[in-house]
Chains A and B, each alone.
Chain A
Amino acid sequence: MTDQGETGEAITILLVEDDAPTCWRLQDALVKAAYEVRTAGSLGEARSALAASAPRVLLTDLRLPDGHGVELIRETRRRFPDTEIMVISALGDEESVISAITVGATGYLLKDAFPTDIATTVRDLVAGHSPISASIARFIVRRTQNSAEPPPGPALNTAKLTPREIDILWGIAKGFSYAEIASHLGLSRQTVPGHIKNIYRKLEVHTRSEAVFEAVQQGLIKL
Chain B
Amino acid sequence: MSRLVPYLLLQALIVIATFLGLRLLQPSDPEDFALSGFSLSEDGITRPVTLPHFTSSRYSLADPPLYIGTFTFKSGDAGWSVFLPRFSNAVEVAVNGVVVLDSRRDANANRPDRNTPQIAAIPSSLLYDGSNAITVRLFVWGPLKGFLDTVYVGPDAALRPAFETRTLLFVTLPVAFSAWQSILAVILAIMWLMRRREPVYGVLAAAMVLGVIQAFMPPPVPPTTVSRLAGVLLASAPIESALIVVFGVLFFGWRWPRYGMLLFVPGLVVFVIGLIAGPPLPRILFLLLGIPTVGISLFLMAYVTAAALVRRQDAASFTIGCAVTIVLTCWVHDMLSVFEIVTNERTFVSRLSYSAMLVAIGAGLTWRFARALNQVDSFAGQLVARVREAEERLKASFVREEARARAAALANERTRLMRDLHDGLGGQLISIVALSERGQEGATITDAARAALKDLRLVIDSMEDIGGDLMLALGSWRERAAMQLRPHDIALDWRVATPQGLPLHPELRPWHIIQIVRILDEAVTNAVKHAAARHIAVAIETRDDGQGPYGVISVADDGHGFALRGDGQAAGASQTARGLCNMRNRAVRCGAVLDLSSDASGTRVRLQLPQVFPDSDAATG
Contacts and interface: CB of A to CB of B under 8 A. Distances in A.
A176 interface: yes
Contacts of A145: 467
Given A113-B483, A139-B464, A175 B457 contact: no
A112 B465 contact: no
Interface stretch (B80-88, B363-371, B470-478): B470-478
A136 to B, nearest CB: 10
A22 interface: no
Contacts of B449: 112
Contacts of A137: 475
Contact of A117 (B465, B475, B486): B486
A177 B494 CA distance: 9
Nearest to B478: A175
B437 interface: no
B379 to A, nearest CB: 40
Interface string A109-143: 01011101100000000000000011101110010
Nearest to A114: B487
A174 interface: yes
A41 interface: no
B487 A116 contact: yes
A30 interface: no
The B contact surface, by secondary structure, is helix
A93 B499 contact: no
A94 B460 CA distance: 10
Contacts of A193: none
A174 B281 CA distance: 111
Contact of A142 (B450, B465, B474, B501): B465
Contacts of A93: 460
A175 B487 contact: no
A142 B475 CA distance: 14
Interface string B473-516: 01111110001001100000010100101000000000000000
Q: How large is the interface on B (under 10, 10 to 19, 20 to 34, 35 or more residues)?
A: 20 to 34
Given A134-B476, A135-B476, A145-B467, A174 B501 contact: yes
Contacts of B464: 94, 135, 138-139, 142
Interface in B359-390: none
Contacts of B453: 112
Given A116-B486, A117-B483, A174 B457 contact: no
B456 interface: yes
B466 interface: yes
A180 B496 contact: yes
Contacts of B460: 91, 93
A209 to B, nearest CB: 32
A135 B464 CA distance: 10
B538 to A, nearest CB: 9
Nearest to A175: B475
A91 B475 contact: no
The A contact surface, by secondary structure, is helix
Interface residues of A, number: 27
Contacts of A139: 464
Interface in A20-70: none
A113 B480 CA distance: 10
A129 to B, nearest CB: 16
Contacts of A171: 499
Which of A173, A174, A176, A180 has most B Cβ within 10 Å? Answer: A174
A93 B461 CA distance: 8
Contacts of B450: 112
A128 B469 CA distance: 31
Contacts of A117: 483, 486
A78 interface: no
A133 B477 CA distance: 11
25 contacts: A93-B460, A112-B449, A112-B450, A113-B483, A116-B486, A116-B487, A134-B472, A134-B476, A134-B478, A137-B475, A138-B464, A138-B472, A138-B476, A139-B464, A142-B464, A172-B475, A174-B471, A175-B474, A175-B476, A175-B478, A175-B479, A176-B496, A176-B499, A180-B496, A184-B499
Given A173-B475, A174-B496, A176-B499, 20 more contacts: A91-B456, A92-B457, A112-B450, A113-B483, A116-B486, A116-B487, A133-B476, A134-B472, A135-B461, A135-B475, A135-B479, A138-B466, A145-B467, A173-B471, A174-B471, A174-B472, A175-B478, A175-B496, A177-B494, A180-B496
